[in-house]
Amino acid sequence: MIKIIDLKKGYPSPKGEIIVLDGVNLSIKKGKSVVIMGSSGSGKTTLLNLIAGLDLPDSGKIFFKETDIFSLSGKKRAELRNRKVGMIFQFFNLLKEFTAVENVAIPLIISGMNKKEALKKGEHLLKNFGLGNRMEHRPYELSGGEQQRVAIARAIVRNPEILLLDEPTGNLDWKSANETIGFIKEKISELNITSVLVTHSYELAKNFGEIFTLKHGKLEKNISG
């Protein structure tokens, strides 16, 4: 489903170029989950942004099935991302002025669905996510774990094939983090979504998928913890 080939990316700095990714290779089969660990600044977010097609590498390729995503125009790449990729972040990034159900419905409305139908779909998903009695709550009226569940619902409402999760539990206590990861795992298995999870926690990573560590710009497969 996803194939990353010899991906390289650096950023210019006053002291010369900082090489962040120095030849990353990774293949993920449809419906499989991969975890990426690594210290702060090791390039995890840089890698996820490239997989999402939000940024361009210096060299190397990423394929979604047969599509070489960096060979597409920016517009086509954005379309592909909107259709196929869901993203979840540490800080939930919900829209504060909108209710839970509106937050979930917004991607559908943007994609052209009429508002009533979009809200109905959002309600259905939130009920399925155990948030049936939180539909009209605004983000500040929800716990961190609940906010993240709304963000997960928003990320999958358009049926993405790929889910990218950048430290989704970094802002949650251990219990909520563990529940949230269990919940995500359950949903992606049900929906056969291919996923990449970035986390600092080996305890969370070990039940999620195949674990790699990003170090000195390369991915190493974890043999143990």
Ligand X SMILES: Nc1ncnc2c1ncn2[C@@H]1O[C@H](COP(=O)(O)OP(=O)(O)O)[C@@H](O)[C@H]1O
Angle at 187 between CA 207 and CA 35, to 5 degrees: 35
Cβ closer to Mg ion: 44 or 134? 44
Minimum Å distance from CB 100 to ligand X?
28
Is residue 90 part of the contact set for Mg ion (CB under 5 A)?
Answer: no
In the list ligand X, Mg ion, none, the entry touching 46 (Cβ below 5 to 8 angstroms by class) is ligand X
Interaction between residue 222 and Mg ion (CB under 5 A): no
Q: Which of 20, 62, 100, 157 binds ligand X (CB under 6 A)?
A: 20
- 45 binds Mg ion per the rule CB under 5 A: yes
Q: Contact with ligand X (CB under 6 A): which of 24, 28, 35, 42?
A: 42
Q: How far is the CB of 151 from ligand X (least distance, A)?
A: 18
* 49 contacts Mg ion (rule: CB under 5 A): no
Q: Is 38 in the site for ligand X (CB under 6 A)?
A: yes
Nearest residue to 88 (alpha-carbon basis) of 213, 204, 197, 209 = 197
Check residue 45 for interaction with ligand X (CB under 6 A).
Answer: yes
Distance CA 180, CA 168 (A): 9
Pick the binder of ligand X from 2, 33, 46, 108 (CB under 6 A). 46
Joined tokens for residue 151:
């963000």
CB 18, min distance to ligand X, A: 6
Under the criterion CB under 6 A, does residue 57 sit at the interface with ligand X? Answer: no
Please give the size of the binding site for ligand X, defined by CB under 6 A.
11
Contacts of 187 (CB under 8 A, 6+ apart): 152, 156, 193
Q: How far is the CB of 144 from ligand X (least distance, A)?
A: 20
Query: Which one, 31 or 170, has the nearer CB to ligand X?
Result: 170
Judged by CB under 6 A, the stretch of 37-45, 122-130, 142-150, 202-210 that binds ligand X is 37-45
